[in-house]
A and B are shown apart, each in its own frame.
Chain A
Amino acid sequence: MPPAVLEVDGIAASYGPVAACRDVSFTVTPGELFGLVGSLGAGKTTTMRIVLGMLAPDAGEVRVGGARVTPETRRRMGYLPEERGLYPRMRVHDQLVYLAELRGLDVNDAHRAADRWTTRLGLRDARDVPVQRLGPGAQQRARLAAALVHDPDVLVLDEPFAGLDPETAQLASGVLRERAAAGVPVLFTSQALDLAERLCDRVGIIQNGHMVAAGTVDELRAGGSVELLVDAPDAPDGWAGALPGVRVVDVHNGRTRLHLTNGVDDQAVLAAALATGPVREFTRVRPTLAELYRDVVVP
């Protein structure tokens, strides 16, 4: 199957009177890692369940390769549910073979695929161990293997990094990058914003069932406000306070942190700083995803 784009188009769903998501739209292109971030109950898991066809949306649709998702395309998706998701008393290898067979692999291919992924994810020693006897990190790796075992065309992962130690998180993100490089659209949710920032090509911020912002982290930065860090040792107190559209956030060790309203020219601020004397440092602060998220979600 050629690489196919995943499109989520205006989906809405509600649990009784509570709307879980409203008019959520985004696109994950082949080879792209798309991170969905948002607080608990924001609608991330609901969105994923709709993508996987477990939940029928009240409105909108999900397309893969331009065509509405069918059971056939759904079978070619890999899914990692949030927490748990495997039979506690079943052995890792048996479990992977079973899931691969359910997704249409024949017995031999299923065994080969299970072996390949247990090796790749460092689970070789855990091959015949029941899942409930594994540590949390190994359990998460086993779940990841379950999502990958049938070589899916689309990957949907709910909190793949939850509870992972840094080493395992590294391994997991490496595998996800590798799958993306092979042309698979990868959609995942994460509470770990720093990890999402490093890994994602694009991010969608979801809040109260709405997609409030989406784009590359740089695009989100461009849409947001700008902050400057200025070190002008001879400047008097309040030198920047009078500048239009500029607010002083913080003064620390002689450095002033300034918040610029959208559209304010940072060169005018530099000129004002130079007017006070020498300027040792003039930096445009790149807000982290966490700060962007706070900016978008909190007001």
Chain B
Amino acid sequence: MTEPKPARTVYLVARRELNTRVRTRSFVVSTLVALVVLTGFVLTQSTLFDEEHVTRVGLNGQALAITGPLRQAAGQLDLDVTTTEVPDLAAGRDQVADGELDALVSGAPAELRVLVRGDLDPDLRTVLNGLVQQQVLSGLLASVEDLDSNQVLATIAKAGVHVDSLEPADPQHDQRLALALIMVALLYLALLLYGSMVAQSVVEEKSSRVVELLLATVRPWQLLSGKVVGLGLVGLVQLFAVGAIGLLLAILTHVVTIPATATATMAWGLLWYVLGYLLYATAFAAVGSLVSRQEDVQSVLMPFTVVLVVAFMLGFAVLSRSPTGTTATVLSLLPPLSPILMPGRIALAAAPLWQVVLAIVLTLASVAVVARVGSVVYRNSVLHMGPRLRLRDALR
């Protein structure tokens, strides 16, 4: 009998966590539920993303003259349009890039130009074309003396809005967006579920006083690492199973026609799960050790789960609007948000490599900080029984 190496101790703790969870019925059930929900999502995704929303049109200079006609024509087509005046063309261009505007219209009414990020919405194109043709027609009618009907028709047919696009339209965009949003949702759920599981496991050991028995033998950091690693692996297994089966299903049913991109998205998602999990689980474990009863876990975790919820909601908003914009870039580089936003942007091919690398480095750095602070909090509070400790006291 020899002193077990620290790595073996961590392994033993991790193995116990893994065995305890994987054997439970709730693990199997939650995996199946996740699969069913994901399948449903995949199968309905095409209709889900066709939904109409408000189209925000910016008008610049002479184009302001079409404000009234634009609204009227859009109304007839059931196209929901809001218009804003954009005094500065360069500023308007940035707004389009950031997704604050869907389209920027400029130029004389007879020679309208429209700037969009990707594709011009077909309904909006129809409306704008109609407006340009009306202008051209009324110009021609003004010089009524030498009117050649054939020439008029030809001129009208040629007239139309000139479209400029910031980015070439991506035919795979819808699929990529669906993949990105599925990824965001899965990561959010996995981080929340397995992060709180770590906190619950910490409190279970506290409330059952097993921790007293364990800490007579193992160091706090070994116990904490083993727990985080073990439960993290459970999450990884579950996420991998759900992801792989969901992906296979989507490819087989031709919902996804870009298997290579989809597989890469999933691989990135798993990497970001590991990074995000390390960040959140360590924080959750430390904060969980402040309380002694299961009933208090949720309330003590609240400030941290809120960050996850915010990341999730921002993810949906930013990714569907403007994944390449400044807002998306900055948010996805912030460590608490990166694990959810960055894989979404990667799925949309909206993040350059340097941003991905930077986000990974920043997240790893904050994992190191959280792990250090977290293990101090854990060590100081895990043997404390009774009412909830304040974080400040636990850091001393």
Which residues between 1 and 21 of chain A lie within 8 Å of chain B, taking CB atoms? none
Contact status B217-A75, CB under 8 Å: yes
Give the complex CA separation of A52 and B216 in angstroms: 6
Query: A92 an interface residue at 8 Å Cβ cutoff?
Result: no
Contact status A74-B213, CB under 8 Å: no
Query: Which residues in B have their C-beta under 8 angstroms from that of A84?
Result: 207-210
Contact status B2-A104, CB under 8 Å: yes
Query: Which residues in B have their C-beta under 8 angstroms from that of A54?
Result: 212, 215-216, 383
Give the complex CA separation of A150 and B2 in angstroms: 12
Write the chain A residue with the least CB distance to B19.
Answer: A94
Query: Which residues in B have their C-beta under 8 angstroms from that of A101?
Result: 4, 12
Report if A74-B216 is in contact (Cβ < 8 Å); known contacts: A85-B209, A87-B208.
yes
Number of B residues with CB within 8 Å of any CB on chain A: 24
Query: A102 an interface residue at 8 Å Cβ cutoff?
Result: yes
Write the chain A residue with the least CB distance to B383.
Answer: A54
Contact status B219-A87, CB under 8 Å: no
Query: B261 an interface residue at 8 Å Cβ cutoff?
Result: no
Contact status A85-B218, CB under 8 Å: no
Query: A105 an interface residue at 8 Å Cβ cutoff?
Result: yes
Query: A55 an interface residue at 8 Å Cβ cutoff?
Result: yes
Which residues between 155 and 210 of chain A lie within 8 Å of chain B, taking CB atoms? none
Q: List 10 A-B contacts (CB under 8 A).
A: A79-B213, A79-B216, A81-B209, A84-B209, A84-B210, A85-B213, A87-B205, A98-B12, A99-B217, A102-B4
Write the chain B residue with the least CB distance to A88.
Answer: B208
Query: Which residues in B have their C-beta under 8 angstroms from that of A106?
Result: 1
Which residues between 97 and 143 of chain A lie within 8 Å of chain B, taking CB atoms? 98-99, 101-106, 109
Which residues between 45 and 101 of chain A lie within 8 Å of chain B, taking CB atoms? 49, 52-55, 71-72, 74-75, 77, 79, 81-90, 98-99, 101
Q: Which of A82, A101, A106 has the most CB of B within 10 A?
A: A101
Query: A289 an interface residue at 8 Å Cβ cutoff?
Result: no
Number of A residues with CB within 8 Å of any CB on chain B: 32
Contact status A146-B20, CB under 8 Å: no
Query: Which residues in A have their C-beta under 8 angstroms from that of B218?
Result: 102
Q: Nearest Cβ distance between residue A101 and chain B, in whole angstroms?
A: 5
Query: B214 an interface residue at 8 Å Cβ cutoff?
Result: yes
Contact status A104-B4, CB under 8 Å: yes
Q: Which of B12, B16, B210, B216 contacts A53 (CB 8 A)?
A: B216
Query: Which residues in B have their C-beta under 8 angstroms from that of A146?
Result: 213
Query: B3 an interface residue at 8 Å Cβ cutoff?
Result: yes
Query: B204 an interface residue at 8 Å Cβ cutoff?
Result: yes
Shortest Cβ-Cβ A-B pairs, 5 listed: A84-B209, A81-B212, A52-B216, A79-B216, A85-B209
Q: Nearest Cβ distance between residue B305 and chain A, in whole angstroms?
A: 24
Contact status B1-A109, CB under 8 Å: yes
Query: B9 an interface residue at 8 Å Cβ cutoff?
Result: yes
Contact status A85-B212, CB under 8 Å: yes
Write the chain A residue with the least CB distance to B20.
Answer: A90
Q: Which of B207, B212, B213 contacts A99 (CB 8 A)?
A: B213
Q: Which of B1, B3, B13, B20 has the most CB of A within 10 A?
A: B1
Q: Which of B9, B204, B208, B209 contacts A102 (CB 8 A)?
A: B9
Contact status A87-B216, CB under 8 Å: no
Give the complex CA separation of A105 and B2 in angstroms: 8
Contact status B216-A105, CB under 8 Å: no
Query: Which residues in A have their C-beta under 8 angstroms from that of B12?
Result: 98, 101-102
Give the complex CA separation of A85 and B217 in angstroms: 13
Write the chain B residue with the least CB distance to A77.
Answer: B216
Query: Which residues in A have their C-beta under 8 angstroms from that of B219?
Result: 71
Query: Which residues in B have their C-beta under 8 angstroms from that of A104?
Result: 1-4
Query: Which residues in B have their C-beta under 8 angstroms from that of A89?
Result: 20
Report if A85-B210 is in contact (Cβ < 8 Å); known contacts: A104-B1, A104-B3.
yes
Query: Which residues in B have their C-beta under 8 angstroms from that of A99?
Result: 213, 217
Contact status B213-A98, CB under 8 Å: no
Give the complex CA separation of A106 and B1 in angstroms: 7
Q: Nearest Cβ distance between residue A189 and chain B, in whole angstroms?
A: 14
Contact status A75-B213, CB under 8 Å: no
Instruction: Map CB proximity to A onto B191-213 as digits: 1 under 8 Å, 0 otherwise.
Output: 00000000000001101111011
Q: Nearest Cβ distance between residue A191 and chain B, in whole angstroms?
A: 18
Contact status A74-B217, CB under 8 Å: yes
Query: Which residues in B have their C-beta under 8 angstroms from that of A55?
Result: 383
Contact status B214-A105, CB under 8 Å: no
Write the chain B residue with the least CB distance to A82.
Answer: B209
Give the complex CA separation of A53 and B216 in angstroms: 7
Query: Which residues in A have their C-beta under 8 angstroms from that of B9?
Result: 102
Q: Nearest Cβ distance between residue B203 and chain A, in whole angstroms?
A: 12
Which residues between 318 and 358 of chain B lie within 8 Å of chain A, taking CB atoms? none
Report if A87-B217 is in contact (Cβ < 8 Å); known contacts: A102-B4, A104-B1.
no
Query: Which residues in A have their C-beta under 8 angstroms from that of B212?
Result: 49, 54, 79, 81, 85
Q: Nearest Cβ distance between residue B204 and chain A, in whole angstroms?
A: 7
Contact status A102-B210, CB under 8 Å: no
Report if A81-B213 is in contact (Cβ < 8 Å); known contacts: A98-B12, A102-B12.
yes
Query: Which residues in B have their C-beta under 8 angstroms from that of A75?
Result: 3, 217
Q: Nearest Cβ distance between residue A72 and chain B, in whole angstroms?
A: 6
Q: Nearest Cβ distance between residue B54 and chain A, in whole angstroms?
A: 52
Report if A102-B214 is in contact (Cβ < 8 Å); known contacts: A55-B383, A75-B3.
yes
Q: Which of A71, A72, A79, A85 contacts B208 (CB 8 A)?
A: A85
Q: Nearest Cβ distance between residue A176 and chain B, in whole angstroms?
A: 18
Q: Which of A71, A87, A109 has the most CB of B within 10 A?
A: A87
Give the complex CA separation of A83 and B207 in angstroms: 11
Write the chain B residue with the least CB distance to A87.
Answer: B210
